[in-house]
């Protein structure tokens, strides 16, 4: 239904919160998206859903709320992690420096890039007020066990407010807030961006637990517009509804309607199937990279772990997914005789064996992640790789991906190229991607050695 509302909006271009019919309809459709989100994440009616223009705005809003209401003393602690997007680091730094209260500490990570829960809790104390972490890394793709983390923290320190940046995870993981509350593993705040789950750019929302919003009196980030109930010459009064208080100004109504459209589609998806298909493509990429690049492809970290690979029914995916008709049995995945390397690639293979392409792959140890892999080389920059791949009509990003601390302190490289796989990708695209990464990498290495 939301797609009809979106078409109606563009046809009539109404504003919300007017009393005429077009505006009244636009308001109803706008509010229906809020209800769609609540239904999709299965939260309670009096929990708060606040529309934003994305996670950066959402994280800034939440940071300001915490600094004003929760962080009272210089020794109050905010825990972040090295995996965080800059939007979950810089606002804390700026507000702490400005207000002269609070201090940042960093969550301990193990060698595989997952939070060391035992060490984290042992580091916390009565001064720890907030922990703000991402559910999944936008660079290495690790999915943190947030339910376990939240439950263990709340059992020891129930006063700590837990903020989850779900920007990267929301499109891959189905959240059930009521179930999480029942298990005492629910975050106090959850933030995501709409474009990450196939909605329009410039959209997103914040979930705020009703227990948190009833305990504290939060203030808006911006003033004016519809948050006012009374304006006098020198003082004004504001609405008490948190969603109204934080949705200042004219909202991106068509963008918000697009979130409703995306979530209506997502409701029809079998998420176990989607995740397994995503991991099938992930494994396929690793397989082809190993095949084309041989010992030039290195999967990090090297851990002393053993694991039994999860039993994914690839055959089931191939029978039901229209894009994988070419791969009509499981044997093709492990023994594809149709793959051939070019003569140029074969000849280069025998030269310059010190050249490597690295990735961070914790899935080989059975650890859960989304379809994201970083790539980097010891002989050329990620920007060179991405530039040449663009000529092959391959669109991947290069840089620190707004996660400088992860690159500096965990990966210990300045930049990476990032592969991001989702349910709209096909095995043919994955094969082509690996082929072109391999051939381009060998070419770049050859160019360097010719200098």
Task: Report the pLDDT value the prediction gives residue 21, as an integer from 0 to 100.
Answer: 80
pLDDT per position as a tens digit, 72-122: 999 999 999 999 999 999 999 999 999 999 999 999 999 999 999 999 999
Instruction: Compute the distance between CA of residue 193 and CA of residue 188 in angstroms, rounded to an integer.
Output: 17
Q: Outline which parts of the chain fall under CATH 3.90.1150.
A: 271-450
DSSP letters along 148-181, please? HHHHHHHHH-TT-EEEEE-TTTTTTS---HHHHH
Global pTM reads 0.87
CB 354 within 8 A of CB 405: no
Range(s) within the chain of domains with CATH label 3.40.640.10:
2-267
The reported pLDDT for the residue numbered 376 is 98
Q: What is the pLDDT of residues 250-259, one digit of tens each?
A: 889 889 999 9
The CATH topology of domain 2-267 is 3.40.640
Give the dihedral of Cα atoms 322, 336, 294, 137; nearest 10 deg: 20
Helix and strand numbers, DSSP H then E, in the chain? 17, 14
Spatial neighbors of 147 by CB under 8 A, at least 6 apart, are 180, 183, 185
Pairing state of beta strands 77-80 and 297-300?
unpaired
pLDDT at residue 1, as a whole number = 61
* Residues designated catalytic: 402
* Class of the CATH-defined domain 271-450: alpha beta
Q: How far apart are CA 69 and CA 210, in angstroms?
A: 16
What is d(CA 11, CA 7) in angstroms, rounded to the nearest whole number?
6
| Angle between helix 90-99 and helix 55-69 axes, rounded to 10 deg | 30
What is the widest separation between alpha-carbon atoms in the chain? 80
Tell me the β-bridge partners of 80: 106
Cα 338 to Cα 61: distance, rounded to the nearest angstrom: 53
Say if CB 64 and CB 93 are below 8 A apart: no
Closest CA to 196 of 250, 133, 263, 249: 263
The DSSP line for 245-307 is HH--SS--HHHHHHHHHHHHHHHT--HHHHHHHHHHHHHHHHHHHHHHHGGGEEEE---S---
Q: How far apart are CA 134 and CA 441, in angstroms?
A: 32
Cβ proximity of 379 and 451 under 8 Å: no
The pLDDT, as a whole number, for residue 311 is 46
Q: Are 34 and 243 in contact (CB under 8 A)?
A: yes
Beta bridge partners of 207: 49, 190
Rounded CA-CA distance 109/57 in Å is: 27
Q: Which residues of the chain are under the pLDDT cut of 50?
A: 306-309, 311-351
Centre a 10 Å sphere on the Cβ of residue 315 and count the other Cβ atoms it contains.
Answer: 14
Q: DSSP state, 308?
A: P
């Amino acid at each position: 239904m939301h797609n009809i509302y979106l078409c109606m909006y563009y046809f009539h271009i109404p504003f919300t919160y007017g009393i005429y019919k077009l505006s009244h309809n636009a308001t109803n459709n706008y509010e229906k998206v809020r209800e769609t989100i609540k239904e999709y994440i299965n939260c309670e009616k009096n929990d708060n859903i606040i529309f934003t223009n994305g996670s950066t705005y959402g994280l800034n809003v939440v940071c300001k709320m915490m600094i004003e209401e929760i962080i009272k003393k210089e020794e109050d602690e905010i825990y972040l992690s090295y995996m965080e997007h800059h939007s979950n680091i810089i606002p804390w730094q700026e507000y702490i420096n400005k207000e002269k209260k609070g201090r940042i500490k960093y969550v301990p990570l193990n060698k595989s890039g997952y939070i060391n829960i035992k060490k984290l809790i042992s580091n916390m104390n009565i001064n720890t007020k907030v922990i703000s972490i991402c559910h999944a890394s936008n660079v290495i793709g690790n999915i943190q066990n947030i339910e376990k983390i939240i439950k263990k923290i709340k059992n020891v320190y129930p006063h700590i407010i837990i903020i989850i940046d779900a920007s990267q995870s929301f499109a891959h993981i189905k959240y059930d807030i009521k179930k999480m509350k029942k298990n005492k593993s629910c975050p106090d705040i959850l933030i995501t961006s709409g474009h990450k789950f196939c909605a329009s750019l410039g959209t997103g929302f914040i979930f705020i637990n009703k227990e948190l919003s009833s305990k504290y009196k939060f203030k808006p980030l911006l003033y004016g517009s519809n948050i006012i109930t009374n304006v006098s010459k020198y003082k004004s009064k504001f609405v008490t509804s948190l969603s109204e208080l934080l949705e200042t100004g004219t909202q991106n109504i068509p963008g918000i309607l697009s979130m409703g459209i995306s979530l209506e589609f997502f409701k029809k998806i079998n998420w176990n199937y989607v995740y397994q298909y995503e991991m099938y493509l992930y494994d396929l990429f690793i397989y082809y990279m190993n095949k084309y690049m041989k010992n030039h492809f290195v999967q990090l970290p090297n851990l002393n772990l053993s694991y039994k690979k999860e039993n994914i029914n690839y055959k089931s995916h191939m029978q039901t997914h229209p894009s994988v008709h070419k791969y009509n049995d499981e044997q093709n995945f492990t023994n594809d005789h149709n793959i051939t390397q070019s003569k140029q690639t074969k000849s280069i293979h025998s030269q310059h064996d010190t050249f490597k392409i690295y990735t961070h792959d914790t899935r080989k140890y059975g650890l859960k992640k989304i379809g994201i892999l970083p790539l980097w080389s010891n002989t050329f920059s990620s920007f060179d790789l991405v530039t040449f791949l663009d000529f092959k009509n391959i669109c991947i990003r290069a840089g620190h991906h707004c996660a400088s601390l992860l690159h500096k302190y965990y990966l210990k490289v300045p930049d990476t190229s990032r592969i991001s796989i989702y349910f709209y990708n096909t095995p043919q695209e994955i094969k082509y991607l690996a082929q072109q990464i391999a051939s381009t990498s060998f070419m770049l290495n050859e160019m360097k050695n010719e200098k």
